[in-house]
Amino acid sequence: MPLYRCSLAGCLLAGLRGPSGTCMACSRRFCVEHITASSLHDCPTYESDPRAVDDMAEKNLQAELHELAQRLNLVELARVASSLRNGQGCTIHELDDQYLRTLPRGGMNIHLDIVFNDGVEWICRIRRRSASIQDLPLDAQDAVVLSEAATLLFLANQTSVPVPRVFKVVPPSTRDNLVGVGYLLMEKVAGKPMDWSSLNALSKRKVLEQLADIFHSIYEHPFPLIGCLHINNHPLAAFTSASAFSISHLVAEGALSQKEDGSTGFLGPFTSTCEYLKASVASNTLCVSSRESQTSSISHYLALEKSFNRLASRYNFSATKPENFYLRHMDDKGDHILLDDVYNIVAIIDWEWAQTLPEPLAFSSPLFLVDVAAYYEGQDGLSEDERLFVTVLEEKGHATLAKCVRNGRLAHRLAHLLDTDSDSGDIQIHWESYNRLIS
Ligand SMILES: [Zn+2]
Ligand SMILES: [Zn+2]
């Protein structure tokens, strides 16, 4: 069964997945027929009236935030936070009209500051109800929040990757949750989101030298399965031991389906790359079957599946030999890295879709190093920034990781071919490049 339904009354088609399935103006999800404006769905579009779209989006956001403010019990949230710090008092700003207007826009989460009387600051991270997760089933929302918490706890306790400390996680479906919504309590880290293009050559090198160490730390912690991190047991104190973590199913939207009984079907975990790629392609073929240009997309997926033998021999993947898998941040556009004023990486944030992957896919360069314009024109060569990262990794003696970055373009193309939200025009470009690189 499809994961989503079209929100138009009477329409029985599946709602499209990802941001492209949600109307920018009314924030509702539609099928392939009704996502575009028509007499049945008559929202303004960015082409026809950008201001009207922005006005409607802002109105929806304010309605969403007011609804959240009504459900959220700030007194209880402050009591919970305080109890986790031996009764240290704290304050949380009241969610009045003016404050709600100043909350940062966009993204899938809302962050509330918790300021303790001794100056310590925490963040309460709450998943947004609207945007692309509007209709995500509750058990899937739980899985996303728990996987993010597990990933942060694992990285903080087992690796040298700098991440905010997590103090409490309450999944959205939790009963008797007096706070009123699911949430994650975590350390507030100083530092600003990185704007890679504004950095000079020296600062870029400084950041990449730290990133090389971070890649290496992740490389030192292999897992036997492909999937997302999962917490084995409570309470949080137990998370400091490696046995507290295991790899469970994938939580990304593209890997979800709905079962007959209404519960969510998850993909994975997988013991081999071959098994993972085959399952992903099968799932994608189902996802795109209600899309525009579905015929070409499906034929790409079938051809992609046929190419897996070549891919396996290129990368040395084997369906029978045990493989090692490594954690990858799945949204590495650059603003996930927080820097201080002298370009030290103080934290890497937003790990909510992180999953394990085989070596070549886990350690291809992060997206912010890719020359995106050239990439979307179908060029296969590495950018200057990617070449610098290769040099830095080699200087540090990480030859395996340097090789992954040097040969990373094929991994990028494969990732975009497996992304259910890739634009159909772009798929053609990824597909042509993928075929050149694998031949
Ligand atoms: Zn609309
Ligand atoms: Zn529809």
Which ligand sits nearest to residue 38's alpha carbon? 1
Amino acid 31: pLDDT: 84
CA distance 303 to 253: 23
> Apex CA 41: angle with CA 40 and CA 43, to 5°?
145
- Which residues fall inside 5 Å of ion ligand 2, going by CB? 6, 8, 11, 13, 31, 34
What pLDDT, on a 0 to 100 scale, did the predictor assign at position 28?
86
Closest listed residue to residue 65, CA positions, set 99, 32, 35, 37: 99
Contact 134, 27 (CB under 8 A): yes
Contacts 24+ apart (CB under 8 A), 278-287: 278/305, 278/308, 280/254, 280/255, 280/418, 281/305, 281/418, 283/254, 283/255, 283/257, 284/254, 284/418, 284/420, 286/257, 287/17, 287/254, 287/420
- Tell me how far the alpha carbon of residue 42 lies from the centroid of ligand 1, in angstroms: 7
Summarize pLDDT for 118-163 with one digit per residue, the tens: 999 999 999 887 544 456 778 888 888 889 999 999 999 899 999 9
pLDDT the model gives residue 160: 96
- Distances in Å between the Cα of 205 and the Cα atoms of 84, 191, 380, 387, 390 are 40, 18, 23, 11, 11
pLDDT (0 to 100) of residue 112? 93
Report whether 234 contacts 263 (CB < 8 A).
Answer: no
Rounded to an integer, what distance in angstroms lies between the CA atom of residue 219 and that of residue 408? 16
Residue 402 has a pLDDT of 98
User: pLDDT below 50 — which residues of the chain?
Assistant: 131-133, 235, 237-238, 292-293
Integer Cα distance of 270 and 249 in angstroms: 8
Distance 67 CA to ligand 1 centre (A): 20
Distance (Å) from CA 178 to ligand 1 centroid? 34
Find the Cα–Cα–Cα–Cα dihedral 345, 151, 420, 320, rounded to 10°: 120
Q: Are 279 and 270 in contact (CB under 8 A)?
A: yes
Centre of ligand 1 to C-alpha 43, Å, is: 5
Strands (DSSP E) contained in 63-159 are: 90-92, 109-116, 121-127
Nearest ligand, CA of residue 12?
2
CATH 3.40.50.80 fits 50-187, yes or no: no
Say how many Å lie between the CA of residue 36 and the centre of ligand 1.
Answer: 8
Angle at which helix 308-315 crosses helix 273-288, to 10 degrees, equals: 150
How far apart CA 206 and CA 414 sit, in angstroms, is 30
Span from the CA of 58 to the centroid of ligand 1 (angstroms): 13
Q: In angstroms, what is the span from residue 427 Cα to ligand 1's centroid?
A: 26
First to last CA, the chain: 37
Cα 29 to averaged position of ligand 2 atoms, centre (Å): 9
Q: Other CB atoms closer than 10 Å to residue 67's CB: what's the count?
A: 12
CA 4 to ligand 1 center in whole angstroms: 16
List the beta bridge partners of residue 358: 325
Give the three-class secondary structure for 245. strand
Ligand 2 mean position, distance from CA 290 (Å)? 11
User: What pLDDT score was predicted for residue 419?
Assistant: 79
What pLDDT is recorded for position 288?
Answer: 59
Q: How many CB atoms lie within 10 A of CB 377?
A: 10
From the number of C-beta atoms within 10 Å of its C-beta (0-12, 13-18, 19+), residue 352 rates as buried
Token representation of residue 276: 């993972």
- Specify the DSSP element, H or E, that contains 67: helix 50-71
Query: What phi, psi does 204 have (nearest 5°)?
Result: -60, -45
pLDDT in tens, 47-61: 889 999 999 988 888
Domain boundaries, the chain: 50-187
